Structure 1
């Protein structure tokens, strides 16, 4: 059984790849290394350095003949999507369409797609279930929503099996603290460098999901005889100011935060209902926020000491 993982050299991708290797699956990574490094890719993995929207992707499918595709590659910066909507579209919409066309041409058994809580926009109710109305507030969110629609239509017209996974706020070891990174890795980076963390607002809440739980969800979705869209989350809320307090306590840091106003466009509260994934995929989040933060801190502390 061979799995082609787009974006497999990235933060979530590498955790998924390691999970697949533990299951003795053959893995092929396709990644343009825009936010990752080839040095992190396991030796036993076949690697191609290309972007998803290029015609060269067809040659890789032809050569490798994968059974399944896990499509994680994306332009993930909300800020960059607003600055350059065309680049965002080429990567997230055209890239996904190119992957889908190759899936049909080469008879892929199933595609797993990484989507985002961002497709929902400002919540009308909490927790947000999969039937919640969608109102993307950025071009990034719109591109994810559009990619979802393409996948569903490809399934309808060409009988392609799929699972769409809408992740809440993913964090964990290996997340990049630069650019459009998660708030946990940003805070950790600031605290480990003895800087005063910058706190935008603080009362807003987020649903933080540990990356290994995400990798488990991807694996279960790959093997499940199910088509559908699923929230992957903890179904819980944590205030950003409380998150920072937990990190400071764990690191014994006394660096006071620099308070800034809430950024324009920031959603105030976010919490995804994970009931459907638990029922249909037999999945659950095994890591509490405390456990996940401790694992992330251990990794970041070692990396910072190098």
Structure 2
């Protein structure tokens, strides 16, 4: 049985990846510092768990001792706003922490490392949909750290022969996403709608995003382990929706009548984003299986269940 180490495996995306790996009969090890990850996301799963921080230099020796066949690196600081306010904190986790994971992968002779990158590496797109060949020009320290780690992975391959799959995510949403702090807009809307509280929309609400359901992301990560070549692909729906239209769709799914509050656009936020997923379809033999409304409904039902409120019919 192949052994896969998942950093950030107790988190929103990481825990869904862990479930997908178990379903595909991998042996799973999780490293998480539980700063944002939750024990309840993984507590009943047959995994080996280490409460550890990737910014601790000793994580390299720990990983080498665990001797994984593969690493899926999800652990990260994910807040664009936090990266703007505190770029050193962002760099410490996303760059230095990732370098420890890359170093460990080299020393442990892992077969492949799968890295969670982001559409934030592009900044404001000059053409849509965005292809992998689109120029990279991050508008936030967060996007810059993700792009930096991509370059380190390519160097590690060139110098040490480390095999990699880079997955640039669009806007991931779904159950277990935290609405607090830098929760994704779907998680925040879900939280507010199920509390019957007006959510905030920054800007005019006509900015567009490409939303991808977390279970589709998990499936892409597992498929990325088995690709022979080194790849950089998008994990996206390849479709787009405005924030205003998203809110209306979620209102319908939640059976709510609340109205949003509009505020000034936030620094570092891009206007429009849609990522082409043609390469991921061909190289990963993967494509999204969840329709947006279906995923939104499951997300809202999860939010209601966790608040112990009867699920709306």
Q: Which residue of 2 aligns with 1:13?
A: 14
Structure 2 unaligned runs (5+)? none
1:279 Cα deviation after fit: 0.7
Which of 182-191 and 32-41 deviates more? 32-41
Q: In the aligned structure 2, how far is the partner of 1:142 from the partner of 1:168?
A: 16
2:52 to 43, 50, 53: 50
1:259 Cα deviation after fit: 2.1
2:191 to 189, 192, 200: 189
- Structure-to-structure mapping, 1:5-154, within 5 angstroms: 5-41=6-42, 42-154=44-156
Q: In the aligned structure 2, how far is the partner of 1:11 from the partner of 1:299?
A: 13
Give the structure-1-normalised TM-score: 0.97
Q: In the aligned structure 2, how far is the partner of 1:259 from the partner of 1:161?
A: 45
Query: Residue deviations 1:38-94, cap 9 Å, x none?
Result: 232244211111111212212322332110000001111111112221111111111
1:304 to 303, 307, 311: 307
1:263 Cα deviation after fit: 2.7
Q: In the aligned structure 2, how far is the partner of 1:251 from the partner of 1:87?
A: 37
Q: Which residue of 2 aligns with 1:230?
A: 233
Structure 1 unaligned runs (5+)? none
Q: In the aligned structure 2, how far is the partner of 1:290 from the partner of 1:39?
A: 26
**Secondary structure of residue in 2 paired with 1:230:** strand
CA RMSD of aligned residues (A): 1.1
Q: Which residue of 2 aligns with 1:239?
A: 242
Whether contact under 8 Å (2:84, 2:268) holds in the other structure is: no
Q: In the aligned structure 2, how far is the partner of 1:155 from the partner of 1:77?
A: 28
Matched, 1:214 2:197: no
1:268 to 267, 271, 288: 271
How many residues in Structure 1 have an aligned counterpart in Structure 2? 306
Give the structure-2-normalised TM-score: 0.95
